[in-house]
Amino acid sequence: MQRPTMHDHHHDHDHDHHHAPAVGDRNERVVLLACLMTAGFMLAEVAGGILSGSLALIADAGHMLTDAAALALAWAAFRFGRRPGGPLRSFGERRFEVLAGFINALVLILLVAWIAYEAVLRLITPGTVLAGPMLVVAVLGLIVNGAVFWLLHRGDTDHVNIRGAMLHVAGDMLGSVAAILAAAIIWLTGWTAADPILSLLLSALILRAAWSLLKTSLNILMEGAPQGAEPQAVRDHLRKIDGVADVHHVHVWQITSGQVAATLHLRPTGDARAAVARVKEALRDEFRIGHSTVEIDWSGHDHGCTIRGDAHVH
């Protein structure tokens, strides 16, 4: 049998080989419509806050402004993601959406800090609030945010960008609920401290969600392996496959949300083509790695890897 050369690469060509899958029109339309709905009600909420004298409504309008900006960024990410790969960017611009998700998380964390600061100020110096108009606007805000959240849920929720937008809107929904409760308490008891206290509780919920999104997007940007496809776990599994003597130089990373790639060196015991086919099948079925590059190593020695780090297995 003629042996492949040391740098013989095998790619999976079961389907047309595209490094940058097309972004669905549906996601783009959903995000754009959600952005327009959010921005439209934001203006109405500002007006309601001014008329009622409610700082909470004005603050929630500021939250909706960040939501509109995040949704606009998400739309831009999907728009850029439709562009095909070029000579310098073979994977296209799909990672732009991960960057947008990372920015969304940072904005959420900054927003939490601002809400907490404003809540403390309102506890120290309570203001006069017209509970009736505040309640009406808050209820309308909950309805609009619920409609936007439902609309986004119809998109691809596996995308980091869609998740980021949904977290923003979920925060607004909780903000509307908090405003409704605060308006009801102020209406019944006149206790204006209810609003900043509920805002602090809301901040804790938003911070938890934002931290999770930040870790996920940062892991992708830092070329980290997704959970469940750690390089050591991949190597241990592949070494048990029939026809595989050893696997080393395993690198696993994500191009973008849901698009995982891997490269590795394979030392077969017999038929190299059969071993490669079994390895690729295992990567696809066990670890959801759709794009893999397998290099046949006939040397019998591990010469080390020029790329070293804790995320790689040699």
pLDDT in tens, 138-149: 899 899 989 988
Mean pLDDT of the chain: 78
Residue 291's beta-bridge partner residues? 261
Predicted TM-score (pTM) of this structure = 0.67
Contacts of 129 (CB under 8 A, 6+ apart): 52, 53, 54, 55, 56, 183, 186, 192, 195
Helical (H) or strand (E) element with 268 = strand 259-268
Using the predicted structure, report yes or no on whether residue 201 has a pLDDT greater than 90.
no
DSSP state of 84: P
pLDDT in tens, 35-94: 899 889 889 888 887 888 776 777 777 777 777 877 877 787 677 666 666 666 666 666
Q: Taking residues 246-267, report their average pLDDT.
A: 87
Per-residue pLDDT at 191 = 85
Per-residue pLDDT at 279 = 94
Q: How far are the Cα atoms of 38, 149, 168, 174 from residue 143, in angstroms, in the given order?
A: 11, 10, 15, 12
Per-residue pLDDT at 18 = 41
Looking at per-residue pLDDT, the higher value among 114 and 262 belongs to: 262
In residues, how long is the chain?
314
Per-residue pLDDT at 262 = 93
Collapsed DSSP state (helix, strand, coil) of residue 299: coil
Per-residue pLDDT at 58 = 75
